[in-house]
A and B are shown apart, each in its own frame.
Chain A
């Protein structure tokens, strides 16, 4: 186990800059998730930490060692790839023991370590099989087993669950988290799925366009997003954003919709152009309040997701309670003012 410090790390391909000087401090044993949309540089950053991609500027420290220009094999890290990257011609046992074989570890010791990792991951019965004879989930476990056997200082995961179906993804998510809690190795995990990030991370790093948008604990990002990007990216369904301004203690939109605000905020923000943010799950159905016409209804059993047209503004709502609502119905909603987020329209930053 070790700390990982990333200082002003940069990456460019010719004139194209994809990572613009990033700083991240990762504590010993921490589970950090790098999250962001496609092309934000999260996988590139992970590959630079792994040593599979050259660093254009800045420094990476693993423990007390500066590893920025060190070959991958000397960094003492283990990586789980999106497509598993197993050795197709080796059995599960050989796949898992390959790194130790290269280090010339005695065969008996390799066997013992492979067995231990296999028992952690429930792979004992599959040790003699080839990757082609395994299901996606089993292959993923072998890839994790290969990492565990190494007993590295840092685990790196590059979108490891992307190729699995939804059910298996939830299961494997739990298994990875359990494994981390059991082994306690510092882990850096890349995903574009904010649910994975929220459920697994001790700390989330939100990346966008090669910049860090925010670093924080999952609930911190959810409760106090630093800007519109983070507010929209974290949380599912995504937060509602409505343009307008504060006037006479309420938020008014150009289309004439009036939305409630916390008293303290309303007094300070008069006259500024703002973006009003409210999460769909913080909107309640009511018998009075804001009137809206239902334009979409999606029921999942545990909740009802609807979209409303309120004075021309599209508002997404997530209701936990069950009630009969159909396309075209008129409903009333209430917004809890304490859950409202306000953002500066020019900078997008939280107010």
Chain B
């Protein structure tokens, strides 16, 4: 019995030796560059941020380990909760509005009409502009005295607005810029979806008695739902981490009326040099984004009729 088991183990050892290991040294040269880059630009900053978040470290002063004190401080920081609310509002509006207008534009551009290609090209132009340039142009347009928007409103008999200079209108104004710039992206995604939608079911629906609205409601919408979900995911992640436009236009102001988490953590870390507290904020923000991504991916899975495989 004992001899049998020894023979078996010897045979197993031989088998193992003959099979090349996945981590054999001859593979390392191929893996190493990627591993180095990923470690340097993703793993290291992450671990460093995590480490900083459990330290008290203001630039120019010695660092001390303080455990979860930064997180406790964060939970009690009203300015942080306020910025969280601003982020949520800004993100929600920056997803819903481009989604609505983008879908509408896609439906329009899906139909055939003269100069469609040219107009499509013009429509996607805002997407190509640099956010800071966009911010500067819109800042001028929003100017209460010199801005073109108030001038245009005067034709409609509406008095001058304060746009980004008013605490109540600043977020909607910023969302307007975001919507202007990113509606074309949603339009392109949905347009791709519409092109992929099979045409035959529409003939079936015609015979089944569906009118134009019913075809849109029961066929088009469910069939482009997976594409809408992709647009929602891209827009949500983009909007929640939006920084450039807000910083260039308002820097979180007036006061803290448009201060999102990103702006607040930037100010904390790089204006007040409180690196430890800023890092804790970054870690919390990271988990919020991860949680949001999971929710969106789950919803996407449910919306994706085209992934139904044969059981």
Binding site for B on A (CB under 8 A): 50-52, 71-75, 77-79, 81, 83-90, 98-99, 102-103, 129-130, 132-134, 146, 150
Contact = CB atoms under 8 A, between A and B. Distances in A.
A75 B219 CA distance: 21
B13 interface: no
A102 B311 contact: no
B204 A133 contact: no
A98 B201 CA distance: 12
A89 B204 CA distance: 14
Contact of B207 (A50, A83, A88, A134): A50
Given A88-B198, A88-B305, A89-B305, A133 B207 contact: no
A11 to B, nearest CB: 17
B203 A52 contact: yes
B223 A89 contact: yes
Given A99-B209, A102-B210, A86 B204 contact: yes
A73 B219 contact: no
Contacts of A132: 306, 308-310
B259 to A, nearest CB: 42
A98 B218 contact: yes
A78 B219 contact: no
Contacts of B211: 73
A316 to B, nearest CB: 39
Nearest to A79: B207
Given A73-B206, A102-B208, A85 B309 contact: no
Interface of B: 198, 200-201, 203-211, 214, 218-219, 222-223, 225, 305-306, 308-311
A79 B207 CA distance: 7
A99 B201 contact: no
Given A132-B309, A133-B308, A133-B309, A85 B208 contact: no
A88 B306 contact: yes
Contact of B201 (A72, A77, A88, A134): A88
Contacts of B203: 52, 72, 79, 81, 85
Contact of A133 (B209, B210, B306, B310): B310
A90 B208 CA distance: 14
Contacts of B200: 81, 83-85
B206 A87 contact: no
Given A87-B201, A88-B198, A102-B214, A130 B308 contact: yes
Nearest to A150: B208
A52 B207 CA distance: 8
A89 B310 contact: no
> Which 6 pairs from chain A and chain B are nearest by CB?
A85-B200, A89-B305, A99-B208, A73-B209, A130-B308, A85-B204
26 contacts: A51-B206, A51-B207, A72-B206, A75-B207, A77-B207, A78-B207, A79-B204, A81-B203, A84-B200, A85-B200, A85-B201, A85-B204, A87-B201, A87-B205, A87-B218, A87-B219, A89-B222, A89-B223, A89-B305, A90-B222, A102-B208, A130-B305, A134-B310, A146-B204, A146-B208, A150-B208
Contact of A81 (B204, B222, B309): B204
